[in-house]
Amino acid sequence: MDKIETRKKILKAIEHEARVDLGELAIRLGLSEAEVANEMSEMEKEGVICGYLTLVDWDRTDSQTVTALIEVRCTPQRGQGFDTIAERIYKYPEVNSVYLISGGFDLMVTLEGKTLKEIATFVTDKLSTQESILSCATHFILRRYKDHGTILAKKYEDERQLITP
Amino acid sequence: MRDPIATKVNEMQSSGIRKFFDIVSEMKDAISLGVGEPDFDTPWHIRDEGIYSLEKGRTFYTSNAGLKELRTEISKYLERTINTTYDPIKEVLVTVGGSEAIDLACRAMLNPGEEVIVPEPSYVSYVPCVVMAGGKPVILNLKAEDEFRLKPDDLEAAITPKTKILIMPFPNNPTGAIMEKEDLEKIAEVVIKHDLIVVSDEIYSELSYKEKHVSIASLPGMRERTVVINGFSKAFAMTGWRLGYACAPENICKQMTKLHQYCIMCAPTTSQYAAVEALKHGDQDVAEMREAYNQRRRFLMHEFRKMGLPCFEPYGAFYVFPDISEFGMTSDEFCTTLLKEKKVAVVPGTAFGACGEGFVRISYAYSIENLKVALERINEFLIDLRSRK
């Protein structure tokens, strides 16, 4: 297996199982444990692996918070495009993600796990007041059916016959 | 009242798996590693195409041999996977699963008393199909020391003047054995020498973990004497759609189609439309499932080595076939005791032929999490057994 292929396999596996035991992963991929550990730490240094997160379904807790998607239209700046305005937005710790989007608006900003009031304050006080921002449209997520490739709405059940030839 | 049942059917044994299934299904909290079908759902885009065909009202029969579009895709698929070309109009027949194709092949080719060599352990339906077609099954026992591959000398020894057909069940259920190109070349030589026909059941062809699967039909001089059987169940996780196919030279395919026309008419239309989508856009799905199975396979082999359970490394299908003879029990006893004491269901090797005695079939069509729980219990069981000795 060449390096590119090895890395791809490691990434594919840990993308959905961040907590997998390295020894076990090595066995499953037919590699040595040292090889897996080396590749992973290299990829961490290179910024290919940016973190190991936990996928939480907050709706199953008693949390009362909401998640908002905000469509932002703004004026790009000469020589900088959207980078400066994106940076101004992503520096707020309450912001979860900022994407530059093609189509009817420019930036997609998400805020997760906040109260309605916190989001309202953020949009009216911090976002809308930025000079280069033309407009914001805020959408609230009502229900998460699937996130990061994982179906949250329904649990998997094995409906196969117990024994088949 | 007279006995309504035909003697041939009365004499036919019901599958050993069936017997075991009845015991398992009474046990509510058993974990099963006994399933012979993928744990993945059919990829959504394939299911969606089936649904769409229903929405469009495509609820009629197709032509007997199957949708032309599907046969064309099958022909292209075989060209890119096993480098063998079949005329989609005259040499491809869409069937109700690979099972129907096995039955048709036997009935289309066998005269009373002609012999069919059936290597075992192997899938449960070859022998009954041969018997019902009036042929005589000749069992050839594969051996663990050969990694359950078919050896030319053993084949040669099983051939008589009455031998007509050789069944080639590789990649194999239940052993996971494969036949590589060099193995096949030696078999092809014997087959040609004795002028035999091969029925090659390649339903697990996409689940080959060493080299890409090689079909015996792709070897020189073999295409004209081989019926290739394959299907969508294992490769695309489509068992419930009941869709397979047979590819054979025109003279054989034509007769199989004739039988198919009278007993089946045509394979399910919805499944056929879904299968077109599978062959057009499903290669990536197949690759991803194969990778998942391969990871489980390596994991399972490693765990068995740790437990000290002897097992050759299988490179095909989704089964491992460990040797349990050291415990002094029959396969049946081993499986029944494991089920009673640790509530894990695996299938006795004898369900796939008498020479499966001393082995059990363990399926890894389960998530790693499931496998871990089951393996932990199997390990406890082995420790118990060894301490009892």
Contact B349, B174 (CB under 8 A): yes
* Res B231: pLDDT: 98
Contact B121, B172 (CB under 8 A): yes
Number of A–B residue contacts, CB under 8 Å: 53
Mutation test of the interface with chain B: which of A24, A157, A160, A163, choosing the one with the most B Cβ atoms within 10 A?
A: A163
pTM summary value = 0.94
Q: Is B321 in a helix, a strand, or coil? A: coil
Four-CA torsion B218, B220, B224, B225, nearest 10 degrees: -90
Domain boundary pick from B233, B258, B281 = B281
* Res B22: pLDDT: 84
Is residue B145 domain-shared with residue B251, that is, in the same domain?
A: yes
Contact B174, B313 (CB under 8 A): no
**Between vectors from CA A156 to CA A154 and to CA A159, what angle results, nearest 5°?**
125
**A58-144 is a CATH 3.30.70.920 domain:** yes
CA distance B98 to chain A (A): 13
Is residue B138 domain-shared with residue B188, that is, in the same domain?
A: yes
Is residue B19 domain-shared with residue B66, that is, in the same domain?
A: no
Q: Please give the tally of structural domains in chain B.
A: 2
- Give the Cα separation of B242 and B239 in Å (integer): 6
- Tell me whether residue B53 is in a domain: no
Is residue B248 domain-shared with residue B122, that is, in the same domain?
A: yes
Cβ within 8 Å, pair A28-B295: yes
- Tell me whether residue B51 is in a domain: no
Give pLDDT tens digits for B302-321: 999 999 999 999 999 999 99
- Tell me whether residue B194 is in a domain: yes
* Res B28: pLDDT: 79
- Give the Cα separation of B141 and B182 in Å (integer): 20
Is residue B77 domain-shared with residue B149, that is, in the same domain?
A: yes
- Tell me whether residue B49 is in a domain: no
Which residues from A are below 8 Å from B when comparing CB atoms? 9, 12-13, 24, 27-30, 158, 160-165
Residue A146 one-letter amino acid: K
Is residue B18 domain-shared with residue B132, that is, in the same domain?
A: no
- Give the Cα separation of B254 and B260 in Å (integer): 10
Element (H, E) at B228: strand B226-231
Regions of chain B with pLDDT less than 70: none
Domain boundary pick from B248, B281, B314 = B281
- Tell me whether residue B387 is in a domain: no
Give pLDDT tens digits for A22-70: 999 999 999 999 999 999 999 999 999 999 999 999 889 998 889 999 9
Is residue B361 domain-shared with residue B216, that is, in the same domain?
A: no
Is residue B305 domain-shared with residue B175, that is, in the same domain?
A: no
- Any idea which residue has 């396969």 for tokens? B331
Q: Where residue B377 sits, what CATH number does that domain have?
A: 3.90.1150.10
CA distance B89 to chain A (A): 32
- Tell me whether residue B52 is in a domain: no
Is residue B82 domain-shared with residue B213, that is, in the same domain?
A: yes
Quick check: A132 pLDDT over 80?
yes
Element (H, E) at B49: helix B44-55
- Any idea which residue has 């066998």 for tokens? B110
Domain ranges of chain A: 3-46, 58-144
Q: Are strands B197-201 and B226-231 parallel, antiparallel or unpaired?
A: parallel
Q: A3-46: which CATH number, 1.10.10, 3.30.420, 1.10.405, 3.30.70? A: 1.10.10
Q: What is the mean pLDDT of residues A101-108?
A: 95
* Res B235: pLDDT: 98
Contact B114, B160 (CB under 8 A): no
Is residue B68 domain-shared with residue B200, that is, in the same domain?
A: yes
Domain boundary pick from B257, B281, B305 = B281
- Tell me whether residue B50 is in a domain: no
Q: Is A35 in a helix, a strand, or coil? A: helix
Cβ within 8 Å, pair A164-B36: yes
Identity of the residue in A9, A30, A165 whose CB atom sits nearest the CB atom of B17: A165
- Tell me whether residue B252 is in a domain: yes
Contact B357, B126 (CB under 8 A): no
* Res B16: pLDDT: 75
Four-CA torsion B283, B287, B289, B294, nearest 10 degrees: 160
Mutation test of the interface with chain A: which of B291, B313, B364, choosing the one with the most A Cβ atoms within 10 A?
A: B291
Is residue B154 domain-shared with residue B169, that is, in the same domain?
A: yes
> Domain residues for B232?
58-281
CA distance B21 to chain A (A): 6
SS (H, E, C) A79-132: CCECHHHHHHHHCCCCCCEEEECCCCCCEEEEEEEECHHHHHHHHHHHHCCCCC
Quick check: A138 pLDDT over 90?
yes
Give pLDDT tens digits for B345-387: 999 999 999 999 999 999 999 999 999 999 999 999 999 999 9
